[in-house]
Structure 1
Amino acid sequence: MSMADERMDREESGFGSTAEEGSAGRKKSKSRSKADGGSKKKQRSQGVNVLLWILRKSIVPLIMVIMLVAGLYIGYVVLGKQAEGEVFSWATWRHLYDLVFAES
């Protein structure tokens, strides 16, 4: 057996160098494919891959924005005991900004 044939046998069977280990490795790989149903993994289209990538990258900033809105609501309505309708009014937050950064 030449070195090339021996190397090909080792690659097919994994790390084993003997023929017995090689046949055992092939049996294991066949049983794995049967356990998976013998079906190959479906390839997603490029558009779906791009959409999933965008969703993965935007989940943390999205959660941060949701928590910011929830914190504003809790701070203004629950702790500040103000009306719920004023929380998302732009005039409310402009007035708050003017109070905090006004020159005294």
Structure 2
Amino acid sequence: MGATKSVTDANFVNDVLQADTPVLVDFWAEWCAPCRKVEPLLEEIANEMGDKVRIVKLNIDENPETARAYRVMSVPTLTVFKGGEPVQSVAGARPKGDLVKLIEAAF
């Protein structure tokens, strides 16, 4: 992992909800094959978009409270937060272009 960062139940409020830029949260799990397909795309997007957006990963098995709070039923679920609120969300692996559009819709 390089440009993306891991978050936990403990630091979710600080790192996501109180962020001053949009944050894409990748709700994922170790056992999830589609999650592994999305990971390199998120790294590319994080590198390309730089400071305009933060991309973070939350392991739902290790951090069940946050996953439950946002009703994550399947992984990967990708949710964009802006101003402390979820504004866009998709479930399942998506092509890079779809992920970029998801993020850009939050600007």
TM-score class, shorter: under 0.3
Q: Which has the higher strand share?
A: 2
Q: Which has the higher contact order (CA 8 A, sep 6+)?
A: 2
- Provide the TM-score with structure 2 as the length reference: 0.18
- Provide the TM-score with structure 1 as the length reference: 0.19
Larger Rg: 1
